[in-house]
Amino acid sequence: MTTPAPPPSALDRPTPVSFGEAFLFWLKLGFISFGGPAGQIAIMHAELVERRRWISEKRFLHALNYCMLLPGPEAQQLATYIGWLMHRTWGGIVAGALFVLPSLFILIALSWVYLRFGDVPVVAGIFYGIKPAVTALVLHAAHRIGTRALKNRWMWGIAAASFVAIFAFDTPFPAIVLTAGLIGYFGAQRWPGVFALGGGHADGHKGYGPALIDDDTPTPAHARFSRSHLAKVLAAGLALWLAAMATLVVTQGVQGTLTQMGWFFTKAALVTFGGAYAVLPYVYQGAVEQYQWLSGPQMIDGLALGETTPGPLIMVVAFVGFVGGWLQQVWGPEALFAGAAAAATVVTFVTFLPSFIFILAGGPAVEATHGKLGFTAPLSAITAAVVGVILNLALFFAYHLLWPKGFGGAFDAVSAVIAVGALLALFRFKLGVMPLLGLCAAMGLAVTFLKPWLA
């Protein structure tokens, strides 16, 4: 087994990273990627830009802004992009797959516990403690990304306008992205310095030191654009999807539950602009109202599971698939678990396949635009807008955490105390994600089991 190298000296360029070392990192990331996209991106920035210096901040933000434009989970796509840039196609596939697989296995296990045993006090206690930690992680991530992206009053203005648009007027996320991109594109023609990605060269390496893939590192041969590569990736992706759907049609029939899930979540994967919350109404309408694979309360419970497990929040679709497969008995009453696990796997496959295609096919075109203001200026403006969206998400979490039954209900003082403690641990003591989640989970368990004695 490859032993990870120690963090490089701030004065030295890191040594090349082996595929084995990268594999271990992506595996670890799959188990600690809590906090939704904001928290996951913050973790990757801390590990890949600041600590290990595998990629410079400007290259990191360049890739992130492309992922922000795509349908699908941007954090998983960013991991795929960096893995691809470092270790070719298999590097991208491994990075993206390991970002998702731990979450899939955990959700299958928790979904089984949910259906088999109902409200288990231990699970409920862990979730009770982790939810405040997740809220704190999202707020912390908004601060971290904001300090990098909001370099001048124009960027602050874009972030503020983005927040007001989504908070007060419920503006669709794609509209916010499009508007910010247009502001960046036309604004850069008049004030190019304002919209330079990362705030211009004056920022340097932010004290991190030179990176393995630095600002001026030439694009590797495999990441250069070619029409033949684009055609191969598109053909391979389409062939995989057709093979999967053909197998479902042959084994389940066109109207079979697994076939219908495959088709429905393929469509959902292509409209997930703006992250999981933007597509959840569509998933709710189809899975609950149209196909009746599960009930409304079960969908809400699945969202809670998705929020408190590692991986992209859109992994809630795995819960939908598992519960639907279980209740519909897709493989018969004697194989409830196997059928439900198969449904969760099918749903996950069709949901994430487009993300791999977008990165492996579009990555070379994005690399060709590195450093070109005409492309990077709109993305800089989009990054600023995303800060406002993340802040809105943090307030959304905080509201449901502190007033679980709405403003008319009771204020959850215990959750507030845990959340404030988590914020102090992150901002003041720089506590890592896993220790923070462990401590908060322990506090949630303690509160859950002590509550009957204190009542």
Q: Which of 80-89, 152-161, 291-300 has the lowest mean pLDDT?
A: 291-300
Mean pLDDT of 153-160: 92
DSSP assignments along 399-418, one per residue: HHHH-TT-TTS---HHHHHH
pLDDT on residue 370 = 63
Rounded (10°) angle between helices 296-307 and 74-117: 120
Q: Identify residue 336 by its one-letter amino acid code.
A: L
- Please report where in the chains the tokens 């979730």 appear, as a residue: 127
Q: Please report, rounded to a whole number, the percentage of residues in the chain having pLDDT higher than 70.
A: 87
> Does the pLDDT at position 355 exceed 50?
yes
Q: Where are the alpha helices (DSSP H) in 118-152?
A: 121-149
- Please report where in the chains the tokens 């905080």 appear, as a residue: 398
Which residues fall within 8 angstroms of residue 65, CB to CB, at 6 or more apart?
197, 376, 379, 380, 382, 383
pLDDT on residue 100 = 94
E strand or H helix at 311, and its extent?
Answer: none
Query: Structure tokens of 121?
Result: 């006090």
Domain extent listing, the chain: 16-198+221-455
- Whose CA is closest to 8, among 140, 217, 205? 205
Q: What is the pLDDT of residues 97-121, one digit of tens each?
A: 999 999 999 999 989 988 887 666 7
pTM of the model: 0.71
| 373, 196 Cβ separation under 8 angstroms | yes
**What are the CA-CA distances from residue 325 to residues 290, 296, 305, 362 (Å)?**
15, 16, 17, 34
Bridge partners of 213, per DSSP, are: 55
Query: Structure tokens of 143?
Result: 């601060």
3-state secondary structure of 109: helix
204: left (phi over 0), alpha (psi -120 to 50) or beta: left
- Please report where in the chains the tokens 């959902």 appear, as a residue: 268
pLDDT on residue 273 = 54
Q: Which residue has the higher pLDDT, 176 or 35?
A: 176
Q: Which residue has the higher pLDDT, 372 or 14?
A: 14
Q: Please report, rounded to a whole number, the percentage of residues in the chain having pLDDT higher than 90.
A: 38
pLDDT on residue 399 = 84
Mean pLDDT of 157-175: 85
Mean pLDDT of the chain: 84
Q: Which residue has the higher pLDDT, 284 or 57?
A: 57
pLDDT on residue 277 = 57
pLDDT on residue 205 = 47
Q: How confident is the model at residue 1 (pLDDT cuts 50, 70, 90)?
A: very low
Mean pLDDT of 259-287: 77
**What are the CA-CA distances from residue 304 to residues 194, 236, 250, 319 (Å)?**
40, 35, 35, 10
Q: What is the pLDDT of residues 47-101, one digit of tens each?
A: 899 889 999 988 898 888 788 777 788 889 999 999 999 999 999 999 999 999 9
Looking at residue 201, what DSSP letter applies? G
Mean pLDDT of 317-332: 94
Which residues fall within 8 angstroms of residue 300, CB to CB, at 6 or more apart?
none
> Does the pLDDT at position 242 exceed 80?
yes
Q: Beta-carbon neighbour count of residue 197 at 10 Å?
A: 24
168: buried, middle or exposed (CB in 10 Å: 19+, 13-18, 0-12)? exposed
Distance, CA of 428 to chain centre = 25
Question: Per mean pLDDT, which of 28-32, 116-120, 237-241 is the most reliable?
Answer: 237-241
Distance from C-alpha of 268 to C-alpha of 28, rounded to nearest angstrom: 28
Q: Which of 23-32, 380-389, 440-449 has the lowest mean pLDDT?
A: 380-389
| 34, 433 Cβ separation under 8 angstroms | yes
Mean pLDDT of 373-401: 77
Mean pLDDT of 220-224: 88
| 392, 275 Cβ separation under 8 angstroms | no
- Please report where in the chains the tokens 């033949």 appear, as a residue: 228
Phi, psi of 213 (to 5 degrees): -105, 95
> Does the pLDDT at position 353 exceed 50?
yes
